[in-house]
Structure 1
Amino acid sequence: MKPLHFSFLSLTIMLLSIFCTAAQAQQSQTIQGIWLGKLEIKKDVHMNIAFEIESTEDQQLKAVLHSLDQKVYDIPVDEVVFDGSALTLKVLALNATYKGILLDATTLQGGLAQNSKDAFPMNMKKVDRLPVARAKRPQEPVKPYPYLEEEVSYRNGTANVTLSGTLTMPATAGPHPAILLIPGSGPNDRDQTIFGHRVFLVLADMLTRAGYAVLRADDRGVNKSTGDFASASVIDLASDAVAAVNYLKNRPEIDKAHIGLMGHSLGAEIAPIAANNSSDVAYVVLMSGSASTSGPMLFFEQCRAHYTSVGVSKAGIDLNEKILKKAFEIVRTEPDNELAKAKIKTMLQKMEKEVAKLNQQDRELLDMTIPLNSKEYTQFLSPAHRVDLFHNTAAELQKLKCPVLAINGSKDLQILPVNLQRIEKALQKGGNTHYTIKEFENKNHLFQTTSTGLIGEYGQLDETMAPDVVAYMVDWINSLSPLQSSQ
């Protein structure tokens, strides 16, 4: 009887499996589609948000977020969980989570929380199409490309992570000089998608057409890349860049004597660390890079530039910086996280009287509500943040011996162009004479042509990256002789 029992049990399990798979597929179909909602930020202030959910070939759900008012499309949703009634969508790039309950086939009731704050209400309705046309991105390449494209992966054995990415190469015979693109603050996908612009897709296309092999990869924990981005410091991310260089130099199509790093924003902070830990880096290009003796200085500059641009008073900006300085000093001096949290909470309670004196507009623009939210400050207590916050980028630049190109836009409000002078000073102090400094007029942080530089304008501009900026970088790289471009 055992064989009969075994066959019956196997059949039962098989039927249950089929039933469960069918049920899951039906649940999946219920939630698939375009969901449109109004994010209620405060009274009479809202943003139109859409989620587009679909199923993959292996019956997994995937999604993207569209911020319609900002004309920002296709922000990757990193986690999609749906159990037939409750939906959770996590967007790591925005540090945001949407949670909703399916009331019927076309209605979700829920809210969106960002930066660990309470959720803003956002109910959603299922619609047939987006209410507005997608923004034009005329610089995005259209297949078939006039060059080779390959999906690749490589290991960072030190960190036990695997990075996935795209390698593009000229169709002509190699070996080809290569460039590794290093993105800014993340987590980022390989295209460094920002406000609907696939910045690294466009940049890689231009560079590959100019004769370079280009590698761009997803950050840790993004798409097929393994690991945890949240726990990774700039030192950890630099080790990922070194792993990429090692991968490139072992490809027969690559000229291993001419592998360069091109980092944007935070990537321009990571690139020097990687170059100083690899003898295979021929040169470094710093796009909107910084040179500070500590992270807080850069952080304060960014806050001042941003809040000035949106209309916060000097009193409001000064108070915000005062609170940040106190919080960062606690982070710097108190190694015990629980004690640090308590000290930050006590400090914020003492500062609430001064916050209450600010006018309503300042409090709203600074997002300061009483009681002050300690989570906004205690997030810097993570090991990665502790490293990043006090990392000396100027000292790292002083160690660089390979050729360096540092560029910035005159309208950059995230990394102010004054950093070019600091980068030059650091390179000079380290004895590096093989460098070029260039400021581009009327270019913002993404090197788009602009008259304002405002962050909110990024998604509204059709241009992804100004061609003259890329042409200048290509000319500079081409100008390097084999002697100059090796350490």
Structure 2
Amino acid sequence: MIVNLALTAVLAVAPVAPAAPVRPPTPPDLVSSEVDFRTADGLTLGGTVYAPRGATGTLPALLLVHGSGTGGPGYREHLRGEAEAFARQGMVVLAPDKRQKDYTAFHRDFDQLADDALAAFAVLRDRPEVDRAKAGIWGLSEGGWVVPIAAAKSAEVRFVVLAAGPTLPPLRQQVWNVTNKFERTGVGGSIADAFPTTWHRMIGDAGMFGGAHHDPVPPLSRVRQPVLALWGEHDTAVPPAESAEILRDTLSRAGNPFYTIKFVPDAGHAMHLADARGKRLPDLVPGYADAVGDWVAAVAAGDPPRESVAPPPAQGRRSVEVAPSSWWESAPVQFGFLGLFVLLFGAYPVLWLFRRRPGTWPARVLVVTGLVGPLGAVGYLSTLMFSLTENTVEAGPLLGDRPLIWLACQAAAVAAVVSTVLVARRWRSSADRLRQGLVLAGGALLVPWSLYWGLLLP
């Protein structure tokens, strides 16, 4: 029941996909047209095809696959910068919309997204201006988990471009990503482990993190097409050096020598320009589109580069494997503890209505702090899930490197522990041992729970 309530609360604040934006006009050096494609489960999605104006003959083609996001009509505009830049490199480019149905924060089916991509790819490949033997798929971020699946399913995909493609499981990559956001925001202390690692592991094992345990290595090992993989050298969402190392080793072991690994200078995760606050701008980082265009031209000419790996950038920290939760760390047990706290501490004022015996101030303090500490901490961790920006986390006011809300929850937990000790010392001589015993049991359970979540740690 508590888990269902928590899910309901999360869904209530989940962002709703905006209505389709008004498209600005196509630049004069390009032409564009609208297309539709139908997915395997019967959805009709739209897209925009871009091509260089005045081009003659047939051209190489590139389908764009989105990163994470809720999708919907007009979602193609998120990839307009890439679509226009790649079209200027002499390609026919399709920027499609992304499904909303069956795609949520709690459910990600990468096989289904790969089938969607192949449905869009078939439409692009059949266009008269496209050379069918020179058509490939590009994927950004989450698309790096999707595109290898699509390429492994269809030999008609002649080449693969991965932009900031993660080669780690989503849960492990997200822990690394969120840890970096905390560091960039200046958040430290126990919450810097409780939220990125402990919280995400719990929701991943509970099925509340879509695709958390997807293993990207098996699909990559089945890719036989030439692969171009690029990462921004300053990417803090996907570990660039580590991801490149895994991709290189996987393709080499699988016997695919046609891979090129590059790192885009002065570029972040999506390889777009950014403003002073780190917000993404529409234009791509200089040199990125040229690198893609030159590589596609080489592949289209029948000369795909072999085993080319650029020197990796310095990566501040390696990712860490996220161990599966023990039974006592699971979401049902952890939320069950919250239910016990409500029952045990809530019984104190409820029983007073029937027994009318005076309480003690340590017990009253324990009742208040024993509820405020854990419920406040879980509520705060829940809201942090929706406060992650592209580069930072909106953690609220800080005192030093500690969020004030977290400090308040920690203070409540410390007060609860002190109160538990005082209640224990007075319990045998108490005239109301039932009520005192219930809150004492709650306090005894609260101590290990608070240690696990970092409320009693610096």
TM superposition score category, shorter chain reference = 0.5 to 0.7
- 1:302 CA displacement: 1.1
Moved over 6 A (4+): none
**1:471 aligns to 2:350 (yes or no):** no
Rounded Cα–Cα distance in structure 1 between residues aligned with 2:14 and 2:158: 48
Provide closer, same or farther for how the CA distance between residues 485 and 244 of structure 1 changes in structure 2, counting only shifts above 3 A. farther
Instruction: Tell me how far 1:189 sits from its aligned partner.
Output: 5.9
Secondary structure, counterpart of 2:208 in structure 1: helix
Deviation at 1:256, TM superposition (A): 0.8
Number of the residue aligned with 1:219: 98
CA apart distance, 1:148: 2.3
Which of 259, 262, 267 is matched with 1:435 structurally?
259
Q: Does 1:379 align with 2:208?
A: yes
CA distance in 2, matches of 1:218, 1:146: 23
SS at structure 2 position matched to 1:202: helix
Taking the TM superposition and a 5 Å limit, the aligned residue runs for 1:52-67 are none
Measure the CA separation in 2 of the matches of 1:205 and 1:141. Answer: 12
Which of these two proteins has the greater Rg computed from alpha carbons? Answer: 2
Distance verdict in 2 for CA 1:191–1:464, change over 3 Å: farther
| Alpha-carbon distance in structure 2 between the residues aligned to 1:424 and 1:190 | 36
Pick one of 69, 82, 91 that aligns with 1:203.
82
Q: In the alignment, what sits opposite 1:174?
A: 57
* 395 and 180 in structure 1: CA distance in 2 versus 1, 3 angstrom threshold: same
2:163 to 287, 295, 314: 287
Residue 59 of structure 1 corresponds to which residue in structure 2? none
1:448 equivalent in alignment to 2:277: no
TM-score normalized by the length of structure 1? 0.54
Among candidates 240, 249, 253, match of residue 125 of structure 2: 249
CA offset at residue 118 of structure 1? 10
Separation of aligned partners in 2, 1:475 and 1:191:
29
- The alpha-carbon deviation at position 322 of structure 1 amounts to 4.5
SS at match of 2:278: helix
Question: Residues 366-399 of structure 1, C-alpha deviation per residue, up to 9 Å, x if partnerless?
Answer: xxxxxxxxxxxx633xxxx2xx111111221111
- Per the TM alignment, residue 472 of structure 1 is displaced from its structure 2 partner at its CA by 0.9
1:406 equivalent in alignment to 2:234: no
Unaligned runs of 5+ in 2: 1-8, 16-22, 306-458
- C-alpha separation between the residues in 2 aligned to 1:179 and 1:247? 11
- C-alpha separation between the residues in 1 aligned to 2:288 and 2:78? 13
| Percent of aligned pairs with the same amino acid | 27
1:308 corresponds to 2:183: yes
Corresponding letter in the other structure for 1:211? G
Please tell me whether the aligned partners of residues 63 and 94 of structure 2 are also in contact (alpha carbons under 8 angstroms): yes
- Tell me the distance in 2 between the aligned counterparts of 1:163 and 1:396: 25
| DSSP 3-state at the match of 1:379 | coil
| SS class of match (1:389) | coil
* CA-CA distance at 1:217 after TM superposition: 0.8
Residues 145-183 of structure 1 show CA distances to partners (whole Å, capped at 9, x for unaligned) of 223211110112x22111101012233233221100111
C-alpha change, 1:450 and 1:411, in structure 2 (3 Å) is: farther
- The structure in which a higher percent of residues are strand is 1
Counterpart pick for 1:397 among 212, 220, 235 = 220
**Given that residues 189 and 217 in structure 1 are in contact (C-alpha distance below 8 angstroms), is that contact kept between their aligned partners in structure 2?**
no
Maintained 8 Å contact 1:406/1:437:
yes
Shift of 1:325: 5.9
Q: How does 1:26-425 map to 2 (within 5 A)?
A: 116-117=12-13, 143=26, 145-156=28-39, 158-170=40-52, 171-188=54-71, 199-221=78-100, 227-230=101-104, 233-292=109-168, 294-313=169-188, 315-324=190-199, 326-328=201-203, 330-331=205-206, 379-380=208-209, 385=210, 388-418=211-241, 419-425=243-249
**Paired letter, 2:103:** F
Aligned positions, number: 287
CA RMSD of aligned residues (A): 3.0
1 or 2, which has the higher helix percentage?
2
Gaps (5+ residues) in structure 1?
A: 1-112, 120-139, 222-226, 332-377
Distance 2:160 2:11 in 1: 33
Whole-Å Cα distance in 2 between the matches of residues 172 and 481 of structure 1?
A: 16
Q: Which amino acid aligns with 2:248?
A: E
